[in-house]
C-alpha cells in the first residue's frame, strides 16, 4: 500500500499544466466568479444568504454581528478567507452598489467616497425583505441540494428566487479568460417584461425593450444613447455611456455654478473631486474658481463647481465630461452560468431562463404540496371511517391486549392501511366530539378541492404560467419603485471645439513659416499715426506676412505655394506671448520641404458658398467650398499655379457678391463674382485684372453694400474711400486708380473692405503691430495719397492687415 502512495508517475509538464489549469479555470468560473442565471447569485452570496436564513436573520428580527454571519458561512459552507466573505456581505448591503440591497446593514458599511466598512466585529446585519423572496419555498423540495465541503451538511445549489435578481441587481466578476458585467435594472420594468414574455413567448429582445428601457443604476445618473442599450440587449454586449446628472445655476450677477446631483455608477466621489482639482490646478480645465463637496445625509449628493463670469459653464461642463469620471463607460457583458456553463445572453435569454427556473420551482412546489395534501387526505379518510364507526372502534381498542393488536385489528376490520391505523390510535379523545368530527370532514373536503386544483395546475401550462405571473405582480406591488436612471437620446460625441473656451484671437504667420496665436485683447487700441507695439519677434530676413482675426473655435484653410490646401484648427496653434517667434507651421500640417503657406482664411467646417482665389499675376478662380470638406493631412490640390505666380488672397463668396482687386501700382477693378464661373480644384483660373509690366496684385476682398475701401501703402500712408467711387466693370480690365502712390508712400500694400465701426490690426515685417479704429482713418477720394496711418521706419514695411468687428460691450 505504501509503495503505491509513494510511487512517482512521470508526465509531460505541458500536459499537466494544461490539465491543472483547466481544472482551476472551471473552479473559478463555476464556483467563484460568475453568477447563476436563475438566482443571479455567486456561490459566496448564496451561502451568506442561506446561512443568514438559518440564523433566522429575517428583516423583522434583530440584527446580529457580521462576524457571527461570516463565521457561520465559513464554518459550514464556504471554507475561504473571512475577508472575502465579509467583503461580499458588505457589498450586498451598500445601496450605492446594489439597486435592491439584499442585506440590511447596521453600522459603517462604507460610502460612495470609497471609505471601507468597519471591521466585522463592529457591524451588524440581517436580511432585507426583498432578500427573503429569494428563499420563499426553499423548504418545499423546489431546488436541488448538494453536500457541503466536508459532507456533513447539505447546501442549496440555487435559491428558488421569486425575484429576477440577476437583472435587477446585476453582477460583475472576472473569471479565467472571461468576465461578466451585468448592469442593474428596475424591478417594475423587468416584471412587466416577464409578464409580456409569458403572454407572448415569441417576443424578441428588441420588442421587450418597450418594457425595459435600459439599466437603472442605484446612483441614478443618465445613460446617453439607446444604440449601446440596444446592442447590450440584442447581443449581450454593449458599451454604455453613463453621465452624471448636472444642472447649471445662473445668478443675476452673471455668476454660473455647476451642480452635480448624481454620479455615474461605481464612481468614487472623493477621487472624482480630487481629479477635478488636479485638472484645474494643471490648467487642463480652465474657468473653475471654486470646488466644494456639499453632500450630506439629508440632502444627498451635491458637488458645487463655481465658474468664472467670463466663461460659459457649458464649456467647462463639457471639459469635465471629457476629462473626468463625470462621464464614464460601462462595458456591459451579460455572461452567466446556464446549466453550469458560461454563456453570453441577450435580454430575452436572461428573462427566459429565469422564467424556466420559476416554472421548475412552481412545478416542484406543486408536486410537493399535492403529495402532502394527498397524504393528509388519506389520513383524514381513515379518521372519518373511525368516527363513523366510533363505538365499534372504541370497543376494538379496549378489547385489544396490546397497541400492536389494536393496530392490526383496525387494519383488518375496517380495511385501513398502516398510516391510517396509526393516525386513529394517535388521535386525542377531544377530537371525538361532534364539532371536531365536522372539522375533520370539512378539512377533508377542502383538501380534495385543493388536490383537484393542484392536479389541474400540473396538467395546464396556462395555469402554471398564471401562477408565476401573479407571484411576479405581488413582488412588483411590494418592492417596485420609480426608475432612478434616465435614458436620453445620444448626443454627438463631445467635440474638441466644445471643450475650448471661445475667445477672439489673432493668428500671425511669417514668411519663413512661423505661426502663433495671441488673444486679441493684448492689443490696445491706438489713434492713427502711432508707432504700435511688438507683436512678434522675428528672425533676421524673416517678417510677418499674414495676420487674421478669428476665434479659438474656428478653423483655418491654409493655401501654399504649390497650390495645396490644408485645414488647421485655431486651438491647435500654440498660444504665445508678444516676444515669442511662434511655432513652425510645418509641424502642425504636413507641408512638403519646399512648400510655404501664402494665404490663410478662417472658415467654419460647415460653411457654405465658394472660395474665390486671386493670384499675384491677376488670375482668379472660383471653387465650391464643399470640395474642401475632406482635406487629407497631406493636403489637397486647390489650384494650379503657373511658374512665377503665387496665391495672394482667398475669400469666401456667394452668388451676388462682388470682388475688388488691388495692385501695387494703386490700381483696382471691381466686378461681379458670377463673371468667374465655378470650376474644379485642378483648374488654373481666368484673368481677373490685366496688369502693366512690373505691377502685381497685393490684395482682394469681397464687397458689401455701404462699405468703405481701406487702402494702406507699404510705408504706412492710407485712407478710406466710399465703395461707390469704384465703378463696376467686367473682369479682365485694367482697373481704375485707387491710391496715388509715390516714393514717400511706397507702393500699395493693403486693401480691405471695411465699415466705420470696425477695428483693424496693422502688422509690419519686423513684427510691430498697431490696433486702431477705422473711424480714425480719414475718408478721401480715389486719386488722393492719404494720410499717415502708422509710423513705419525703413527698412521696416507694412506686411499684413486684419479687420474685425468689435462687440458693443468690448473696449
Query: Active-site residues: which are they?
Result: 122
Q: Which of 163, 335, 340, 321 is nearest to 232 (CA)?
A: 335
Q: How far is CA 543 from the centre of its chain?
A: 48
| CA 279 vs CA 288, 314, 810: distances in Å | 10, 17, 30
| Strand pairing category for 341-344 and 335-338 | antiparallel
Pairwise CA distance, residues 681 & 564, whole Å = 10
User: Reduced to 3 states, what is the DSSP secondary structure of residue 99?
Assistant: coil
DSSP string of 701-753, one letter each residue = EE--TT-EEEEEETTSEEEEEEGGGS-B--TTS--EE-S---TTT-SEEEEEE
Pairwise CA distance, residues 638 & 679, whole Å = 11
For residue 91, give the C-alpha cell.
457589498
| Strand pairing category for 486-488 and 222-224 | parallel
CB contact at 8 A, 645 and 619: yes
| CA 437 vs CA 73, 378, 398, 407, 450: distances in Å | 48, 16, 21, 21, 20
DSSP string of 455-498, one letter each residue = HHHHH-HHHHHHHHHHHHHHHHHHH-----SEEEPPPPPPPGGG
| Cβ neighbours around 328 below 10 Å, total | 19
CB contact at 8 A, 259 and 247: yes
Pairwise CA distance, residues 657 & 730, whole Å = 14
| Cβ neighbours around 570 below 10 Å, total | 19
DSSP string of 322-368, one letter each residue = HHSTTEEEEEEE-EEEETTEEEE--HHHHHHHHHHHHHHHHHHHHHH
| Cβ neighbours around 378 below 10 Å, total | 16
Q: How far is CA 287 from the centre of its chain?
A: 23
Q: Which helix (H) or strand (E) holds 45?
A: helix 43-54
Phi first, then psi: give them for residue 601, nearest 5 degrees.
-140, 130
Q: Which helix (H) or strand (E) holds 16?
A: helix 13-28
The sign one gets for the Cα dihedral 744, 749, 755, 759 is negative
Q: Burial-class residue 729 by CB neighbours within 10 Å (0-12, 13-18, 19+).
A: middle
| Cβ neighbours around 137 below 10 Å, total | 19
- DSSP for residue 33: I
Amino acid at each position: 500500500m505504501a509503495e503505491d502512495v509513494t510511487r512517482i508517475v512521470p508526465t509531460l509538464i505541458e500536459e499537466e499544466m494544461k490539465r491543472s489549469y483547466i481544472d482551476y479555470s472551471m473552479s473559478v468560473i463555476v464556483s467563484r466568479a460568475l453568477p447563476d442565471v436563475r438566482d443571479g447569485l455567486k456561490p459566496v452570496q448564496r451561502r451568506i444568504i442561506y446561512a443568514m436564513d438559518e440564523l433566522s436573520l429575517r428583516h423583522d428580527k434583530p440584527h446580529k454581528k457580521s462576524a457571527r454571519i461570516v463565521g457561520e458561512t465559513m464554518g459550514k459552507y464556504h471554507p475561504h478567507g473571512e475577508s472575502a466573505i465579509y467583503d461580499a456581505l458588505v457589498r450586498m448591503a451598500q445601496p450605492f452598489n446594489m439597486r435592491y440591497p439584499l442585506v440590511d446593514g447596521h453600522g459603517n458599511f462604507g460610502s460612495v467616497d470609497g471609505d471601507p466598512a468597519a471591521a466585522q466585529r463592529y457591524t451588524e446585519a440581517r436580511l432585507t425583505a426583498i432578500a427573503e423572496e429569494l428563499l420563499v419555498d426553499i423548504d418545499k423540495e423546489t431546488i436541488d441540494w448538494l453536500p457541503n465541503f466536508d459532507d456533513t451538511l447539505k447546501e442549496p445549489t440555487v435559491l428558488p428566487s421569486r425575484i429576477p435578481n440577476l437583472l435587477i441587481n446585476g453582477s460583475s466578476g472576472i473569471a479565467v479568460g472571461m468576465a461578466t458585467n451585468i448592469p442593474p435594472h428596475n424591478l417594475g420594468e423587468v416584471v412587466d417584461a416577464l409578464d409580456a414574455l409569458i403572454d407572448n413567448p415569441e417576443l424578441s429582445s428588441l420588442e421587450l425593450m418597450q418594457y425595459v428601457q435600459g439599466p437603472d443604476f442605484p446612483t441614478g445618473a443618465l445613460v446617453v444613447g439607446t444604440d449601446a442599450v440596444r446592442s447590450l440587449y440584442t447581443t449581450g454586449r454593449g458599451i454604455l455611456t453613463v453621465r452624471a446628472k448636472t444642472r447649471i445655476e445662473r445668478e443675476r450677477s452673471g455668476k454660473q455654478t455647476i451642480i452635480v446631483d448624481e454620479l455615474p455608477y461605481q464612481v468614487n466621489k472623493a477621487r472624482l473631486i480630487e481629479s477635478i482639482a488636479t485638472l484645474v490646478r494643471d490648467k487642463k480645465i480652465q474657468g473653475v474658481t471654486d470646488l466644494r463637496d456639499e453632500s450630506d445625509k439629508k440632502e444627498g449628493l451635491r458637488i458645487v463647481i463655481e465658474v468664472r463670469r467670463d466663461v460659459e459653464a457649458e464649456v467647462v461642463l463639457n471639459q469635465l465630461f471629457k476629462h473626468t469620471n463625470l462621464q464614464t463607460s460601462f462595458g456591459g457583458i451579460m455572461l452567466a452560468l446556464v446549466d453550469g456553463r458560461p454563456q453570453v445572453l441577450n435580454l430575452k435569454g436572461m428573462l427566459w431562463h429565469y422564467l424556466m427556473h420559476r416554472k421548475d420551482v412552481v412545478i416542484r412546489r406543486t408536486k410537493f404540496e399535492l403529495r402532502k395534501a394527498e397524504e393528509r387526505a388519506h389520513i383524514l379518510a381513515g379518521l372519518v371511517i373511525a368516527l363513523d364507526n366510533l363505538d365499534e372502534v372504541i370497543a376494538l381498542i379496549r378489547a385489544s391486549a396490546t397497541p400492536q393488536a389494536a393496530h392490526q385489528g383496525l387494519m383488518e376490520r375496517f380495511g385501513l392501511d398502516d398510516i391510517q391505523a396509526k393516525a386513529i390510535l394517535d388521535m386525542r379523545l377531544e377530537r371525538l366530539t361532534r364539532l371536531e368530527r365536522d372539522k375533520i370532514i370539512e378539512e377533508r373536503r377542502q383538501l380534495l378541492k385543493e388536490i383537484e386544483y393542484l392536479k389541474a395546475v400540473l396538467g395546464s401550462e396556462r395555469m402554471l404560467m398564471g401562477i408565476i405571473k401573479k407571484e411576479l405582480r405581488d413582488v412588483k406591488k411590494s418592492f417596485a419603485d420609480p426608475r432612478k436612471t434616465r435614458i436620453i437620446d445620444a448626443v454627438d460625441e463631445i467635440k474638441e471645439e466644445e471643450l475650448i473656451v471661445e475667445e477672439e484671437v489673432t493668428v500671425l504667420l511669417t514668411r519663413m513659416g512661423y505661426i502663433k496665436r495671441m488673444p486679441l485683447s493684448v492689443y490696445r487700441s491706438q489713434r492713427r499715426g502711432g508707432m504700435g507695439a511688438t507683436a512678434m519677434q522675428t528672425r533676421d530676413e524673416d517678417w510677418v506676412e499674414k495676420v487674421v482675426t478669428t476665434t479659438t473655435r474656428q478653423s483655418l484653410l491654409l493655401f501654399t505655394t504649390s497650390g495645396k490646401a490644408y485645414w488647421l484648427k485655431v486651438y491647435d496653434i500654440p498660444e504665445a506671448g508678444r516676444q515669442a517667434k511662434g511655432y513652425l507651421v510645418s509641424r502642425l500640417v504636413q507641408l512638403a520641404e519646399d512648400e510655404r503657406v501664402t494665404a490663410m482664411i478662417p472658415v467654419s467646417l460647415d460653411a457654405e458658398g465658394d472660395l474665390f482665389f486671386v493670384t499675384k499675376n491677376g488670375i482668379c478662380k472660383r471653387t465650391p467650398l464643399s470640395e474642401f470638406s475632406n482635406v487629407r493631412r497631406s493636403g489637397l490640390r486647390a489650384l494650379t499655379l503657373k511658374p512665377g505666380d503665387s496665391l495672394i488672397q482667398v475669400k469666401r463668396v456667394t452668388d451676388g457678391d462682388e470682388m475688388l482687386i488691388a495692385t501695387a501700382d494703386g490700381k483696382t477693378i471691381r466686378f461681379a463674382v458670377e463673371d468667374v464661373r465655378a470650376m474644379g480644384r485642378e483648374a488654373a483660373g481666368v484673368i481677373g485684372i490685366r496688369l502693366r509690366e512690373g505691377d502685381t496684385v497685393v490684395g482682394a476682398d469681397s464687397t458689401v453694400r455701404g462699405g468703405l475701401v481701406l487702402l494702406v501703402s507699404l510705408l504706412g500712408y492710407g485712407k478710406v474711400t466710399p465703395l461707390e467711387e469704384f465703378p463696376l466693370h467686367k473682369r479682365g480690365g485694367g482697373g481704375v486708380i485707387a491710391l496715388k502712390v509715390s516714393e514717400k508712400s511706397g507702393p500699395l500694400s493693403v486693401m480691405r473692405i471695411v465699415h466705420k465701426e470696425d477695428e483693424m490690426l496693422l502688422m509690419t515685417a519686423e513684427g510691430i503691430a498697431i490696433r486702431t479704429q477705422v473711424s480714425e482713418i480719414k475718408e478721401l477720394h480715389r486719386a488722393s495719397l492719404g494720410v499717415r496711418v502708422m509710423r513705419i521706419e525703413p527698412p521696416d514695411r507694412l506686411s499684413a492687415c486684419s479687420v474685425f468687428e468689435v462687440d458693443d460691450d468690448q473696449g
